[in-house]
Structure formats: structure tokens, C-alpha cells
Amino acid sequence: MSSAAAVAFVGADELSLELAASFLRSGAGVRCFVPEADPSAAALEELGGARCASPAEAAQDTALVVVLSDADGVDELFFGADGIVNGLCTGAVVLMRSTLLPAQLEKLEQKLADEKKDVFLLDGYIFSGLSDELRQKIVVVASGKQEITERARKFFHDLDRTIYFAEGEFGISSKIRLVNDLLESIHFVASIEAMYLGVRAGIHPSIIYDIISNAAGSSRVFVEVVPKLLSEDPLLIKFLKSSKNSARHVMDMAKAVTFPLPLLAVAYQQLIHGSSAVIGDVCTSPLKVWEESFGVNIIDAANQQIYDASKLADQLVMESKTAKQIGFIGLGAMGFGMASQLLKSGFSVVAYDVYKPTMARFADLGGSTKDSPEEVSKDVEILIIMVANELQAESVLYGHAGAVPVLSAGTSVILSSTVSPGFVTRLNRRLEAECREIKLVDAPVSGGVKRAAEGTLTIMASGTDEALHCTGSVLSALSEKLYIIKGGCGAASSVKMVNQLLAGVHIASAAEAMAFGARLNLRTRRVFEIVQHARGYSWMFGNRVPHMLDNDYTPYSAVDIFVKDLGIVSSESSSFQIPLHVSSIAHQLFISASASGWGRHDDAAAVKVYEKLTGVKVEGKPLMLSKEDVLHSLPAEWPEDPMDDCVNIASRSSTKVLVVLDDDPTGTQTVHDIEVLTEWPVEALVEQFLKLPTCFFILTNSRSMTADKATLLVQNICRNLEAAAKAVPGVSYTVVLRGDSTLRGHFPEEADAAVSVLGEMDAWIICPFFLQGGRYTIDDIHYVADSDRLIPAGETEFAKDAAFGYKSSNLRQWVEEKTRGRISENQVSTISISLLRKEGPNAVCQRLCSMKKGSVCIVNAASERDMAVFAAGMIQAELKGKRFLCRTAASFVSARIGIKPKPPIFPADLGLKRALTGGLIVVGSYVPKTTKQVDELLSQCGQSLRVIEVSVEMAAMKSNEERDQEINRVVELGNAYIKSRKDTLVVTSRQLITGKTPEESLEINYKVSSALVEIVRRIDIRPRYILAKGGITSSDIATKALEARRAKVMGQALAGVPLWQLGPESRHPGVPYIVFPGNVGDNSALAKVVKNWVCPSRSSTKELLLNAENGGYAVGAFNVYNLEGIEAVVAAAEAEKSPAILQVHPSALKQGGVPLVACCIAAAEQASVPITVHYDHGSSKSDLLEALEMGFDSVMVDGSHLPLGENILYTKNISSLASSKGMLVEAELGRLSGSEDGLTVEEYEARFTDVAQAGEFIDETCIDALAVCIGNVHGKYPSSGPNLRLDLLKELRALTLKKGVSLVLHGASGLPHELVQECIDLGVRKFNVNTEVRNSYLESLKRPEKDLIQVMASAKEAMKAVVAEKIRLFGSAGKA
């Protein structure tokens, strides 16, 4: 904010003082008006603010007025004789902090607009940030018209320790405050009830506080209020009064919108009751009131001798006895994890559960199982009970085949179920009465299913010293936090009871608050995000509200559990004769949910009671905007493409190279003809710089690493770049840290690493725009397109990434979030779309040059032209000496180097034809988009694909031996499938397994990725192509499995999907490598690419003849009769790398039938060269109709024996049917003499093809190929040799060339080589060969062989030799 600007504060409190101090530190002038008696006035003056005599004086000539007021005096404050309105200047913004209800605020806004049309009112909710992220910061949530909230943003832009949120229409801020106030009020009363219940149960209040503060029952109110309660802090009265007033305002709002708030209603009554202690007109401490209600003096309890429950636990573990044989009863969700953890910790565990499949699972892990509690309990040292309730505990201990009668003397029993303290006490007495020294440990647990399996539970334990020493090693193995509670059996359950009271109330209050927010028409997801930073937050709010927002009630802890647990609280409160109003109402809420059929749903389903009762929907679907509407609302694009001139100027003015450090291979999504290095020694970088390229990529794959490793890697690369650049005179470079367009990756760690080597930059450029992936940045909000909608990135699945998750969609806030406040959002500059589209590259250059050194700049963009305008402006700034470090998505790179897009690449574009192997598709990415794409791939291509699922559990979580077995299995199947020409999908199991920390999640990712690498490395069959899905997967496969040190980006297989050509040093040089990002494309994108790259279907005869026409050669069509003949033709064609046609004559079909045709088709499909199957001399209509359905690629319609008119009709009829199936049709005009397969045409019947008739024939029948008679014959030529009419052939060639019809010559057997060549020169593109091949077969049979196999082999080789000779003669060798 400008130092000349002034800010006024009318009314003040502690927050106002903090905010005023921030303004003063920024250089702004501060004025204030507060009543005389208010101590805030003196405090403001001490800070340097000017005190004013009236609101009007304070507001005079100020740009921003912050008003603190309640509803009673607001009219006088604004519109009185010395009211604010009388001092406001034109364009001033008034930020209203008040307890006014939204309707009252709207009236104020309208009245202010009537009296002062050129001032602006904003609704404000201001609070101190309490989250780790925003601790010690002032959070300003402003709502109103967009132009006003953006105007107000400028006032807060340069303030330290201040965060500003703009939240939509006027009144929203106050509504969010009401939701938070509801939570605070309920949490206050719940904290009081919990503490007094715990003290009545005999637990020291400090012990309760220490444990609960770090447990699931914690809340910010509990952490803040309880110390005040235990120390009789006078601020407790202030807190109580504030909570009561806030609750009253919320109740008023609930009444206005007709919404039930049972929890708050009861809490409000308790707050009134607590405030009833008065002396005169002054409220006094509520402790006396609560002492009378709860029957205990909590201060006396707090003054009793304290102990450290955690240290007692540490001492216990050190001194505990070793136990070996453990019995475990109850393998439910928690129990199974606990028992499994004991196995991992080396204990011998025998278990029982009523559900047999669970026992089988436990046995698979190496545990022992028995058929009853009685059998489990024999000869164990420790017996653990982890059942659902007291009734089940009673049954397994004392019921039929119960445990107690068979327990050995001295056995220790750990009861970990959540039961009432009274039940534990009674059970202890019963066990003592057994007189067998059976020891009971009361050890309830907390933490959930996942932590149970990890051995990181919180456990509270109580019992005799001996019992605890006997069980300490087991309790330690199960827990991360262990507390020893003094007071004997029942004491630990009392602490658990207190925790469950708070946890249950907090879930219930979260349900009430979020439902209330929905009734107020708030964006519930945004309410959740803001309350996370405020005082109304609790651990349960943070954990359970996401379930409500996602409408996902998969049970982690069921509603019925809190029906039971709060029932325990109710029962114990009845025993103690103390009223617990809020927890009783919460209990009723859970009972209502259970009665409605949601008992087994997640406990967050308590919100459904409110939804069903009131009709609201809490589900917080991500805010989705119409992409079309948003893009159309933007200004028109800059009219000219500035990049051509800029790139030319830059290339003439400097030798600056763009060096892109790509954190996974998908960054090449928008470029082509660019080199990628996977290694970066100085020598390789020098070699690259000497080429003076505009750009090259270095594949770092750092996204798969921990932050520390990524930092070291980037530093190493930058040092090598510096050394290489110094070795090449005149070269300079700009570093781009290419990262994920959905904001995942090591930021700011990698940027910090680069700067630590390269020195401070003038600015960091943040630009995640990526058109092909549907990523847009508009008004600093980064969006992800989903079909025709735009979703803020922070509300997508990408923001929930286990390693790189984030909350902010606003990139300025994202920078602050990722830098953990080191760079505040107010310090982040932006290049707006308005500037790009209205002012152009020069304005971009000016903005970049005007920034302070070390700035961070967000680039908004919604089109490639926006990107080009920014890139042009950046080039201008670089030419002026500015240095930038860029953190961008792929679109920036292509814009910066002025590269033009080109269409997707298909196999044919690379000259790829048929292959002998299948393609290999490897999927490792776990983003939900990938899973959807895999599902769609299987739906569309499942019949043709072979699918191998890699078990992630086996690859990442099991022993090395089991891991190797899984890898071997996949490799064996992969080799077999690929060799059999089947496209093969190797996909990791889709259940996402994450670690407890981002680092552990990355470690799991590494193990999975390394397993995929090992699989691909050991698949030794060369695939037709390789597609790797996911950034980490594709990088590791390229560098580690395929051993590529460099590659060239050829282009894209689909928009945003790079296609590489791996270097010659790689294991499969020349094999296309498709790098498919995990987050690109719609659900069908993967299927589309795979279908584009399927093994090419066998070529059509039409395609073979067209290629022959273009190449000036002919294709041989060889008649076949059996398997040996088929194999001979294919083997010869493959040996000569030639196309060929397998030809079946009607007489052969009569003998071989459908199996002969099937063999031909199978051979054609398996061949590595183009082979087609042709039906020859179809002179019978019925035979031809059958042939059309057999799978032939082409047919010859032979009506040559018919008069011309009949021939035309006959041929035309078949031609129309065949053409509809995409089959080539050949026909004969004229008639050959001679014999073929028992059919003889006498010489007198033969006739030459008439050219005139041929023209009519072609036009009428629409045939594709014409077999002509020019003196050629079937069978043997006479001894005088062939006498071909080449002059006639020449005329026919002229005709057929004009008509687009191929010339065919039957009777090629016996034609001299020279004559064959002349025919080819005159346009013959297909020769039929039969006699010579058949004769070679018959001759081979005359040679004696030992057995049939040798006969077949000999015949095949004889025919193969003839076919190969003909192929060479026809000129088709090498043309496949």
C-alpha cells in the first residue's frame, strides 16, 4: 500500500490493533476513533496511529475504513451528526466487522449507497490464524462485489503477517463467521463437560488435558480454554461472555432461516447458566456455578500432585518383562491390524474371531488360529481382548467356551475394547476372585484402522504395577504414544471416555455446522477450508468433514460406535449424578442416524440427520465454471503473433539456449524435433551447447525423489551447466524447471537449489498453463478443465497427492502455502490476461523489468496466444539483461522457442509397417484419471489386449523373495504375449497404497516404479512400440529399463502425449516410445492412442496393387492348395521382404474347404510382410457369395465365358456386394485358353480383350482390377513359346490407367523374364502363378524321404524357391 494512503479504524479490539500495526509497518497512515474509556485508543497511539475525536474525522480522506460495531449502535455510527458517512471520500472502501446479521448488513449497504453513491461497503470476517500454515497471521475474509474485493486486496497486498481472501457476494463473510461461532460455542461447553466428567472419575485434570490435547478429542477451544479453567484465569469470563453473545447471534440467524440447531441450543443454555454468577452488575467466575452443577471443585483437583503419564510409560517399557505367546480375541478392523502388527514385531500370536475368512487372512500372514476363545487362551502369557462392546467381552471371557476358565495362573489380560470404566472395575474384581493371579490391564486404544496396522496407536493403560510390567512390551509394540494412568483398572477407560465424549460432540457439531452453512447457501468446501485456520476447528472437524463434502460414508468408524461410546458417557454421568447436556444431545443425534438406517455408515453420516430433516445438501462438489462462459468473458486476444519476430531478433542478438530441467518425461508434450538428455556430464552438455540449439531437455525425474535428493540433483545439474557454458564461448542459457501443470512437484526446493548455484534471479516465473491438458490460469486462479467445466486446481484429485498435495487454487496463495509463508501472497506479482491481451509484449517487458530483484511472478493465460505474448515480452526483458528462473508447464516451452504445433504422429508417419511382435503398454500412474483411462481402455480394447496386473502389495510391501516371484510371473507372461503379437498391458493394481509421510509415499512409489523397470528390462522380446503411462514410470523405463542416454522428441502421439525416438545406445533403438502423462486427456484418450497403434491389420489387395503402381513393379499371386504351399509363399515373401497374394482356386476350395481359407488368413495375419488372400476364378455366383463371407481380401469374378452383357450383369452384382465389404474385385474380359485345376478352355474358345468393350465393362461394373487376354494362357505355353500382343497391352494400359484400374495377367508360368519385364513396364501389376509352383511340389514328391515331416519340408523348400524367383522377377523384392 502506498505510504501516502491512510487507513481509518472506527472501533478497535486486539485484532484491530494487530492489523493497524501491520498498516503502520507498511508505511500507511493510521487514524482511529474509539470511545474515551477504551484502552485500545492509547495502544493505537503508542503504535503511531492518530487518534480522532469522531468517526467522521477518522474517515476523512482515508481510502480504507475498518469498522468494528455491534448491531445496536451502527446507525448512529454511520449516519449520526459525526458519523462515518460525513467523512468518507470518493472511492473509499468500508470494511465492516460486526455482529450484524446478513439481512441487517444488506440494509446498511443499501442505505449507504443511497446517501453516498461513490463509496463501497464490504462485509468482513477477521480472525487470528491458528493453523500451522497461518499461525500468527491475521486472516481477512472479505465479501462483496468482485471489483470492490479486488480494490480492497490492494490495501492488504504489502502487509506482513496478513492473509486476504475474497469470498464472493456481500454477506458471505459474516455467514462463515456464524458457522465458526457455532463450533466455538459448542466446543467450549463440551470442553467444560469433559473436564468435569474426567475429574469426577478420579483423573487429574492436567493428565486429561495433556492426553486429550494430542488425541482425536482435541479442539482449538479445548487447548485454549482448559488452561484458563484450571488456573482461574480472568480471561475465562471474557471467553464465556463472548461465546454466549456469539451463540445468541447464531441462534438469531437460525431462527431467521428456520433451521434447527439442537446442539448449539443446549450449549447456549449452558453458556447462559455459566454466566449466571454475578456480583452486582458484574459477571464473576463461572467456577462456582459449575462446581454446584458437577459436584466437584476443579481447582482443588488441579492442585493435587501431578505426574507425567508419558514418562511413566517410558519407564514401564524399559522395565517390562518379555512375553512370547500372545492370545488375541477379536480380529475386527482394528483388531486385525493390531494382531498383524504383533506378528511383525516378532510375537507368536494365536487368534480367534467369529468371522472365519478373517481368521484365514490372519493365518496367511503367519499367525495361528483356533476355533474358540477357550482354545486361544490355553497356555498364553498375555490375552488381548479387542471386541466391539461389553456384551461381547463378557461372552468371550465367561460365555460358552470362554477364556477365563482355561487361563493359566499369572496370565495377563489386556482389555482394549472401549467399555465403561464401571465394567472394567467389575471385571477386575471378578478376575481377582478367581484366585489364580490373573492380572487385568485396562488399555483402550485410539487412532483408527491404519494406525493399528502400523503400530502407531495411542494407548492409555491402567492396572497394577505388576500387570503393567508384564504387558509393557506388547503395549509398546502397538503404540506410538503410550500413557500410564494412575488409579487402577477403570482409570484408562475413564480417560478414553472423556476423549470419546469430545470426539463424538465434535463430529456432531461439525455435522450441525456444515448443514447450517449449506442452509446459508455457503460453499461448504470453502467453509471447511477457512474454518481449518480458525478457532472453531477440531481434529474431528478436519478428519470427518471431508467425508461429508465427498458424500463418502465408507465406514472408518461407524455411527453405531458413537451410539455405544456416548451411551457409556450417558451411563457414567447418571452414576455420578452430573448433567452433560451437549454430549446427551450428540448421543441422541447418533441414535437418530442409526435409527434412520445409517448405523453402519461412517460416523460422519450424522450429518444425514440434518440433511433429511431440512433438505439441505452438505456435499461440497467442487466449484465448476462453464469453460465456454469463462473463456468468452475474457478480452479479445492480442491480434498479432509476436513470436516469429522475437525469436529471430533473439537468435541474432544472443546465443541464449533454453535448458529445460524436466521433472518427468511428460514435459516434452508440446515440442518436436528437440533433443532430450537423460544424463548430464559436463562433456555431454558442452556437446549440446556447441550445437547452439534453441532448446534442449534434461530429464531429471526429480518428482520421484525426496525433496533433499531433488535439491542435490538440481544443484549438480546447474553446476555442470555453468561449467559447460563457460567452455563454449558466447553461449548463455535460461533454466526452465518444467513441472506438473496441476502444481505437483518440488517447489520451491528446486528453484532454491537452482538459485543457490546460478545466483539470484530478477524474478521467478510461475506459469502452469497447459492448453492440451486443459489447464488455465485466470485471475490468478489455476483451473483444471473437466469436459466443459473448469474446476479450481485445489479442489481436484491432483491436490490430494500424497507427496505433493496442496489446498490453494489461487497461485499467489499457492506460492505462500508451498514456501510456508516465506513468500507471502502479497509479495507475489502477476501478469494478468487483461495486460497480455490489451497491452501486449511491450507491457509484459515493462512489468518484468519493473519488478524488484528476486520477485515471484504469476503468469495468467487462457490461450496459446497469451503464452506467445508473454514469451515475447520475456525475450525483450532478457535482451535488456534480465535473468529469469521459470517454473512452468509444457506450453511455456513451445511458446518461448516459437515452435509450431504439428498433427499427431501415427505409425505410418514413421514408416512402420507390419511387425512380428505386440506392443507393450506399461501403466504405473495412480491419479484417478489414469484409473478411469485404464478402465476405458479395457472396455474398448479388452478383447484384443492381454492384461497383466502387477500386485503393488507384492512389489512394494512384501519380502524380496515374494517381490521377485511377482516380477518373474509378469516377465514370463509379457514375453509370451508380445512374442505372439498381442498388445500387452502391464498395469499396477489400482488400490493406492500410501505411506504415513510424503517421504514414505515416495519410497513406495519408488519400489513400484523399480519393479516396473525390472519387468521391462527383463522382457527381451522387442515390442512393436512401448507406451509408458505416468511421469515417474515413463522416466524410469526410458533411462533404467531401456538404458536410453538421449532421445529425440518426434512429436506427439496425441495432443499432450509425447512420442520419442530413443538413441542408438538404448536396448530397443528405433522402437517408438510413447510418453503418456498420468493427468492428460479424457477418459478415452489412452484407448485412442492404443487403437491408433494396434498391430496393423493385414494389408488389402487394393493397397498392394496401388503400392505396386506407385513403385512400378508387380505383385505375385500364387495358387495354394495346402499348408506347405501357404508356408512356402509366406516364407519366400518374408525372405525377399516382398508383398504377396495367397490365391485359392475354386477346385482347391472344394477340396480344402473353410480350413484352407482359415490357414491362409492366419498366415497372412502372422506374416511380417503384407500378405493378402484372394479367391480366384469365381465363375459360380453361389460360390462367390459364400467366398464373400469367408474372410477373403479380394475376389475374381470370372464371367469371361458369358456374353458381354451377361458378364457385365454378373460382375456388377458381385462387385457391389464385395465393394460394400471393402474387398477388391478383379474381373476378366476376353478368355484365356489352356487348363487350370481341371478346367480347360480350348484354343478356339479363347479370345483377346477388346479395348472398347473393356471401357464399357469397367464403367458398368466398377471393378478394381482387370484380368486381360493378350495371348497369355493357363498352364503350359506351346513349344513355340508365348506370343503376347504387347500392342494391345499398351492400349489397355492407357485405358485402365485413366480409369484407375489395375492390370492383371494370368498365366505367368513359363513366360520369359524379358517378356515379364516388358509387361510390368506396360503396367501389369499382378501376375497369377500356379503351374510352376505346383510342378515343383509334385517333383519334390518323387524324391524319397524317410517320413512325412521330411516330405513336407522338402515340398515347402521346392515351392519356396520358385516363389522367391518369381518375386525377384516381378520386382517386388524389398518392397514390403
Q: What mean pLDDT do residues 1251-1276 have?
A: 87
**Cell digits of residue 125:** 470476517
pLDDT of 316 higher than 60: yes
Which one-letter DSSP state was computed for residue 770?
B
Distance CA 590, CA 587 (A): 5
pLDDT of 192 higher than 90: yes
Q: Give the other-Cβ count within 10 Å of 757's Cβ.
A: 16
Identify the pLDDT of residue 909. Answer: 85
Band the pLDDT of 1018: cuts 50, 70, 90: very high
Identify the pLDDT of residue 1239. Answer: 44
Which H or E element spans position 471? Answer: helix 465-478
Instruction: Answer with the residue of higher pLDDT: 377 or 956.
Output: 377
Query: Which is the catalytic residue, given 496, 818, 1356, 1375?
Result: 496
Identify the pLDDT of residue 301. Answer: 94
Distance CA 1202, CA 1251 (A): 17
Identify the pLDDT of residue 1240. Answer: 43
Q: How far is CA 1218 from CA 1140, 1183, 1190, 1191, 1223, in A?
A: 21, 13, 12, 11, 5
SS3 of 1107-1154: the string is HHHHHCCCEEEEECCCHHHHHHHHHHHHHHCCCEEEEECHHHHHHHHH
pLDDT of 772 higher than 70: yes
Identify the pLDDT of residue 1104. Answer: 94
What percent of the chain shows pLDDT beyond 70? Answer: 95
**Lowest mean pLDDT segment, chosen from 56-60, 927-931, 1134-1138:** 927-931
Instruction: Answer with the residue of higher pLDDT: 146 or 606.
Output: 606
Contacts of 407 (CB under 8 A, 6+ apart): 377, 380, 383, 413, 436, 438
Contacts of 703 (CB under 8 A, 6+ apart): 663, 664, 710, 739, 740, 744, 745, 746, 804, 1031, 1032
Q: What mean pLDDT do residues 774-791 have?
A: 92
Q: Phi then psi for 421, rounded to 5 degrees?
A: -55, -35
Distance CA 762, CA 883 (A): 5
Q: Tell which residue, 834, 790, 852, has the closest CA to residue 150.
A: 834
Contact 993, 951 (CB under 8 A): no
HSE on the CB side for 1310, CA within 13 Å? 21
pLDDT of 1241 higher than 70: no
* pLDDT, tens digit (0-9, with 9 covering 90-100), for 446-459: 888 888 988 999 99
Identify the pLDDT of residue 1267. Answer: 92
Band the pLDDT of 712: cuts 50, 70, 90: very high
* pLDDT, tens digit (0-9, with 9 covering 90-100), for 35-64: 877 777 788 888 888 999 999 999 998 999
Instruction: Please report the DSSP string for 332-358 in residue order.
Output: SHHHHHHHHHHHHTT-EEEEE-S-HHH
Identify the pLDDT of residue 1242. Answer: 47
Distance CA 201, CA 492 (A): 10
Distance CA 328, CA 350 (A): 6
Number of H helices, E strands in the chain: 53, 49
Q: Tell which residue, 462, 464, 890, has the closest CA to residue 676.
A: 890
Please tell me the chain's helix, strand, coil percentages from 3-state DSSP, rounded to the nearest 5: 50, 20, 30
What percent of the chain shows pLDDT beyond 90? Answer: 63
**Helix ranges restricted to H, 654-706:** 682-690
Distance CA 1174, CA 402 (A): 81
Q: What mean pLDDT do residues 1084-1093 have?
A: 91
Q: Which residues pair with 162 in a beta bridge?
A: 138
Which H or E element spans position 1050? Answer: strand 1046-1054
Arithmetic mean of pLDDT over the chain: 89
Identify the pLDDT of residue 369. Answer: 95
pLDDT of 644 higher than 80: no
Q: Is there a catalytic annotation at residue 608?
A: no
Which one-letter DSSP state was computed for residue 670?
G
Identify the pLDDT of residue 54. Answer: 92
pTM of the predicted protein model: 0.59
Identify the pLDDT of residue 1283. Answer: 78
Q: What mean pLDDT do residues 1060-1078 have?
A: 89
**Lowest mean pLDDT segment, chosen from 721-725, 1109-1113, 1267-1271:** 1267-1271
First to last CA, the chain: 73
Q: What mean pLDDT do residues 775-792 have?
A: 92
Identify the pLDDT of residue 2. Answer: 43
pLDDT of 1307 higher than 80: no
Band the pLDDT of 995: cuts 50, 70, 90: low
* pLDDT, tens digit (0-9, with 9 covering 90-100), for 1321-1330: 999 999 999 8
